[in-house]
Structure 1
């Protein structure tokens, strides 16, 4: 049996001494987003399953995505409550 080489921990101490920049990490992860998601944020809501099913069916019947319908609904709410 061959013996394993000892582990060199010097690289770990070098990495620990180098501060990381969290902004750069966020920018790098943002580059992995789909182009349609760039510059957008996620909004979540809990709705009854029937509501989701109806919205998905409406989107399919109109050849649109659920996201498109929700963006339109958000715009309608903003217009209604602007003042």
Structure 2
């Protein structure tokens, strides 16, 4: 479970099936912060930037275990509830 931010964008790492294995809320940098953050991806992992659905933005916590990432034909990624 991750602590939710008011930022509407979320960066997620997914595996080949679209399951979210890591998440990061981009925040403005402050003086003294690192200039970049790196993640070593596995051979079947990809990074996507997705919009947090409006109904989840005001949550104190955001449980991503029941979501996957779907990418459309134009390369746009979005969160999708798992059935």
- The answer to whether the superposition gives a TM-score over 0.5 is no
Query: What is the TM-score with the length of structure 2 in the denominator?
Result: 0.24
Question: In terms of Rg, which structure is larger?
Answer: 1
Structure having the higher strand fraction is 2
Q: Which structure ranks higher in relative contact order (CA pairs < 8 Å, sequence separation ≥ 6)?
A: 2
Query: What is the TM-score with the length of structure 1 in the denominator?
Result: 0.24
